[in-house]
Every structure is written in C-alpha cells, then in structure tokens.
C-alpha cells in the first residue's frame, strides 16, 4: 500500500493580452481595445473519505491545471484556465520538497489546500493607454504557472490497525468482516504491506488495516521493523489478535506490546481491543486463553472465529464505538500550527550587483511585470523603462553603479540598460 509519494504540480499558463484597435464605421481613430488574457488554472489538493491510499499517484506523478485563453478585441477578456483538484485521503500531510515546510495537513474530508498558483493573464494594450500614450502598440504575455514539487505523506493510515504475531489470523479476520481480499496462507509473513478494508457497522463504517506481522526485535529494525511500527502509529484504535492455538498467549501478547512500547512509549495511549482468534479449531483452548489474557490485562477479551463468523459482530461494534470516540476527540483538538507561506509585498524590491556589468533586481511584482512584457513589440521597451523610473528601480540601479550597456536581470528576463 502506497502511503508516501512525491509529485509535481503546475498551475496553468496565463493567456496573452491582445493588441487591437477599435474598428467602427465613421470612427476613423478608434482607440485601443485589446482585452486581457485569462489567468491560468490553480492546483488544489482535496481530502476525501472514499480514498484510503495514494496508489492513484503511483503511475502518474506530474499534474498541470488548464491554461488561460488569450484576450480578444472589444475588451473581451480571455477565459480563466480550469482549476485542477487532486483527491487525497483524509489524513494526508503535504510537504514542500524545496523548503521542507509542511504546507497543509488535510485531516478531515472536504478540506482543501491551494498548492500551485496559475500564471497571471497578460494585459491587453488598452491597459497601457494614457493621455500621453493613446495608442499603445504592445501587450503582455501570459505568465507561466507555478511549479511545485510536493511530498504527500499519509499520516492516518486507518481507523483500526491489526496487531499480532505472523500467522495470528489477521488477514482472515480482515477478509471476514470487510470487503478486502488479502492474501491468506498457512505460513507466516503472507502480509508484507498494509491491506485496507472497509467495515460496515449498522449505518456507520470504519477502515481496518491488516498490518505486516511483527517479530521480536522490530523496535530495533529487525524484520519489517520500523515500517510496521510506523503504520501502527497512524491508527486511531488497535485490535490486538492472539492465536487461540498458541501454547503461551501471554508471552505472544507481551512480545508485541513490548516492541510497540520500545519503539514509542506514546503508542500505549492508543486504545486497544484484544481478541483471541481461531476459536473454531479448539473452542476450549481459545476460551482458556481469553480468560488468561483477561486476568493479565484486567479487562475483557473477545473470543472469535473468523471462518465461522462467531463473535465478530460484537467485536466490530465495540471497535466502531471506540473509533467514533476517537474521531470526536480529534475534532475537538486544536489544529496544529502550520507554516504559512505568504508572498512578499509586490512593491518591495532590492537590487544586487552580480559583477562589474551585471545587476539583478529582486521583487515579485516588478520581476513579474518585466517577465510578462514582450519587449520585442514596438514601444514595449520604453514602457518598461517608464515603469522602472516610476517605481524607483532606475534610481536604485544607478546607486549601485549601473551604466549604459550593462545587463540587468529580472527573473528569467534580461534587459540591456540604456
């Protein structure tokens, strides 16, 4: 089962602005009427409750929202690109791989996170018209969408996780009470990765995970070790099953609990239910084991047969009640503080000297404006120069020693200073 994956998401490219002039009979000097391009689509992650793994992202890792369309004449704006919604299981944490920051924790169904912005639509020539420049002959290109590399990590694996030694009957129980079809065999370690099933109890349901079998030394990395215990930590409730035909059920029980406790003492706080399985093979021995365990842990222990479906209804009902209580408790908890990524103000900029003849201007709003200008169009270079002077960028460059013929970098755009 895939519970962590890296993907690449990109917002759509904005549409280009249009250079156009009003054409109408008896209006010989119609003004500019080029419309703006539409913005590119955005990418959202959305938590849902009918998806339980990240398997859908195994074969496809790159996703892109729709592009905006170009502006039209008569001030017609281009359409915005279609937003893209990617569904992930509730309990998914989203990490920006470039910074390592957690940018979203989608705990509950319906929660959404904006993870990639679409590019801005370019301005049409109407936007540049002024009293001194009545017929601008240039427009802006659409901006490229934002590309972000993300790691998706499923922190909540299932409502209930199955604990137990290899061949304790976990897979058989999962197959008996849910829609899952795990591999079942008479030898241990048939389960090598978590298998999920949905258990219906009256009008409610919960997810049940058959976790890989645990061995002695798992807390030190033996066997499936750390991978198994990582899955244990991501369950709301644990169902510990003990083989009803084992010669020493208490030792079996304590071996598992000891490894879990050694890995992380906090795992003791996860609610437990205990069940003795395989009662159909030797009912008397199973009942004796349940009584022995009950005295050992000082609480009731279920006796079940997965193959004959005895005792499973009562067991699933108790688990459903515990899951409901844990869900309510999680809802009541204060949300964790997340890193909030706020873009810098658009009017803030700085200038730095790269070498004797190269300078770089930093600042989101200014850099974006220059990148989007098609300086190959007539008059566009003059428009950029006027804006740089108005915003104080030209003076800042002059203070740094820029001179005619030097190169000035604005993100991906490069200008020769005049």
Let me know if residue 341 belongs to a domain.
no
Determine contact, residues 66/40, Cβ cutoff 8 Å.
Answer: yes
- Cα–Cα distance measured from residue 382 to residue 273, given in angstroms and rounded to the nearest whole number: 75
Nearest to 56 by CA among 77, 87, 20, 31: 87
CA 193 to chain centroid? 22
Same domain flag for 172 and 314: yes
Same domain flag for 264 and 397: no
Average pLDDT, integer, range 121-126: 93
Q: What percent of the chain has pLDDT over 70?
A: 87
Indicate the range of 28-32, 121-125, 242-246 predicted with least confidence. 28-32
At 182, is the pLDDT very low, low, confident or very high (cuts 50, 70, 90)?
A: low
DSSP letter (8 states) at residue 182: -
Indicate the range of 30-39, 239-248, 256-265, 298-307 predicted with least confidence. 256-265
Average pLDDT, integer, range 35-45: 95
DSSP strand pairing (358-362 vs 350-355): antiparallel
Determine contact, residues 55/31, Cβ cutoff 8 Å.
Answer: no
Instruction: Kindly report, residue by residue over 267-295, the tens digit of the pLDDT.
Output: 888 999 999 999 999 999 999 999 999 99
pTM for this structure?
Answer: 0.74
Q: SS3 breakdown of the chain: % helix, strand, coil, rounded to 5?
A: 25, 25, 50
Let me know if residue 371 belongs to a domain.
yes
Is the confidence at residue 187, as pLDDT, over 50?
no
- Which pLDDT does position 322 carry in this prediction? 95
- Cα–Cα distance measured from residue 382 to residue 415, given in angstroms and rounded to the nearest whole number: 12
DSSP strand pairing (147-154 vs 92-96): antiparallel
Same domain flag for 322 and 183: yes
Same domain flag for 113 and 176: no
Which of 155, 172, 189 represents a domain boundary (last residue)? Answer: 155
- Cα–Cα distance measured from residue 15 to residue 81, given in angstroms and rounded to the nearest whole number: 9
Determine contact, residues 288/248, Cβ cutoff 8 Å.
Answer: no
- Which pLDDT does position 124 carry in this prediction? 93
Same domain flag for 325 and 406: no
Q: How many domains does the chain have?
A: 3
At 344, is the pLDDT very low, low, confident or very high (cuts 50, 70, 90)?
A: low
- 406 CB contacts (<8 Å, ≥6 apart)? 357, 358, 359, 416, 417
Same domain flag for 136 and 162: no
- Which pLDDT does position 167 carry in this prediction? 80
Nearest to 357 by CA among 392, 406, 294, 391: 406
- Which pLDDT does position 84 carry in this prediction? 96
- 348 CB contacts (<8 Å, ≥6 apart)? 363, 364, 365
Same domain flag for 199 and 250: yes
Average pLDDT, integer, range 48-70: 89
| Domain CATH code at residue 382 | 3.30.300.350
Is the confidence at residue 222, as pLDDT, over 80?
no
Nearest to 183 by CA among 225, 215, 193: 193
Same domain flag for 99 and 219: no
- Cα–Cα distance measured from residue 120 to residue 113, given in angstroms and rounded to the nearest whole number: 20
Q: 187: how many CB neighbours lie within 10 A of its CB?
A: 7
- Which pLDDT does position 383 carry in this prediction? 92
At 235, is the pLDDT very low, low, confident or very high (cuts 50, 70, 90)?
A: confident
Same domain flag for 306 and 176: yes
Same domain flag for 141 and 180: no
Determine contact, residues 137/379, Cβ cutoff 8 Å.
Answer: yes
Is the confidence at residue 171, as pLDDT, over 90?
no
Is the confidence at residue 217, as pLDDT, over 80?
no
Indicate the range of 10-24, 261-275, 396-410 predicted with least confidence. 261-275
What domain range includes position 284? Answer: 158-332
- Which pLDDT does position 26 carry in this prediction? 66
Determine contact, residues 67/41, Cβ cutoff 8 Å.
Answer: yes
At 234, is the pLDDT very low, low, confident or very high (cuts 50, 70, 90)?
A: confident
Strand order in the sheet with 147-154: 62-64, 4-10, 147-154, 92-96, 102-106
- Which pLDDT does position 192 carry in this prediction? 46
Q: What percent of the chain has pLDDT over 90?
A: 51
Let me know if residue 215 belongs to a domain.
yes
Which of 275, 306, 332 represents a domain boundary (last residue)? Answer: 332
Determine contact, residues 188/169, Cβ cutoff 8 Å.
Answer: no
- Which pLDDT does position 46 carry in this prediction? 92
Let me know if residue 343 belongs to a domain.
no
Q: 117: how many CB neighbours lie within 10 A of its CB?
A: 20
Alpha helices in 82-224 (DSSP H): 170-177
């Amino acid at each position: 089962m895939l519970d962590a994956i890296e993907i690449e998401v990109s917002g759509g490219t904005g549409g280009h602005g249009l250079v156009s002039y009003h054409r109408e009979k008896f209006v010989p000097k119609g003004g500019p009427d080029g419309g703006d391009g539409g913005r590119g689509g955005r990418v959202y992650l959305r938590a849902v409750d009918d998806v339980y793994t990240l398997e859908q992202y195994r074969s496809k890792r790159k996703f892109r929202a729709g592009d905006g369309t170009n502006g039209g004449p008569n001030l017609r704006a281009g359409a915005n690109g279609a937003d893209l919604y990617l569904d992930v299981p509730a309990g998914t944490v989203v990490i920006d791989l470039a910074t390592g920051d957690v940018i979203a924790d989608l705990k509950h169904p319906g929660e959404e996170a904006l993870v990639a912005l679409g590019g801005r639509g370019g301005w049409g020539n109407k936007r540049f018209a002024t009293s001194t420049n009545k017929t601008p002959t240039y427009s802006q290109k659409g901006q490229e969408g934002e590309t972000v590399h993300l790691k998706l990590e499923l922190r909540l694996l299932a409502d209930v996780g199955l604990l137990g030694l290899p061949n304790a009957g976990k897979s058989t129980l999962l197959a008996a009470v849910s829609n899952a079809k795990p591999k079942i065999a008479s030898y241990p370690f048939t389960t090598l990765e978590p298998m999920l099933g949905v258990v219906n109890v009256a009008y409610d349901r919960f997810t049940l995970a058959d976790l890989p079998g645990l061995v002695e030394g798992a807390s030190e990395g033996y066997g499936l070790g750390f991978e198994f215990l990582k899955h244990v930590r991501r369950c709301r409730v644990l169902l510990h099953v003990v083989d009803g035909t084992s010669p020493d059920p208490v030792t079996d029980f304590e071996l598992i609990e000891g490894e879990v406790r050694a890995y992380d003492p906090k795992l003791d706080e996860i609610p437990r239910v205990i069940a003795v399985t395989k009662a159909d093979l030797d009912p008397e021995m199973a009942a004796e084991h349940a009584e022995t365990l009950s005295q050992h842990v000082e609480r009731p222990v279920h006796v079940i047969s997965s193959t004959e479906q005895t005792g499973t209804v009562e067991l699933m009902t108790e688990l459903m009640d515990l899951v409901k209580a844990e869900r309510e408790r999680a809802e009541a908890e204060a949300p964790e503080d997340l890193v909030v990524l706020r873009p810098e103000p658009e009017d803030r900029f700085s200038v730095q000297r790269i070498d004797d003849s190269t300078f770089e201007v930093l600042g989101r709003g200014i850099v974006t404006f220059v990148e989007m200008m098609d300086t190959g169009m007539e008059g566009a270079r003059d428009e950029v120069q006027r804006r740089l002077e108005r915003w104080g960028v030209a003076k800042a460059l002059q203070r740094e020693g820029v001179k005619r013929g030097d190169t000035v970098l604005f993100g991906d755009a490069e200008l020769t200073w005049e």
